Structure 1
Amino acid sequence: IDVDECASHPRKNGATCIDHAGNHSCQCVAPFK
């Protein structure tokens, strides 16, 4: 079962959350990293 990791880890500063199977990553916008 794939759980939406982004739903439980909201992003700040306009960053985009990318959901992966069992994990997630964050794509930030400049100047944030």
Structure 2
Amino acid sequence: MSTDFRTVGGVHEEILVEFLVHVEDWILVCCLMI
């Protein structure tokens, strides 16, 4: 059970990191557009 939980946490972390990277890209694009 604990191993499954760790795996799920790792997947969530990967998704979160990718999401944050995309957000940073969007902020850069918005700054360039202004």
* TMscore range, shorter length: under 0.3
1 or 2 for the larger relative contact order (CA 8 Å, sep ≥6)?
1
Instruction: Compare the two structures and name the one with the higher helix fraction.
Output: 2
The TM-score, its normalising length taken from structure 1, stands at 0.20
Instruction: Compare the two structures and name the one with the higher strand fraction.
Output: 1
Structure with higher Rg: it is 2
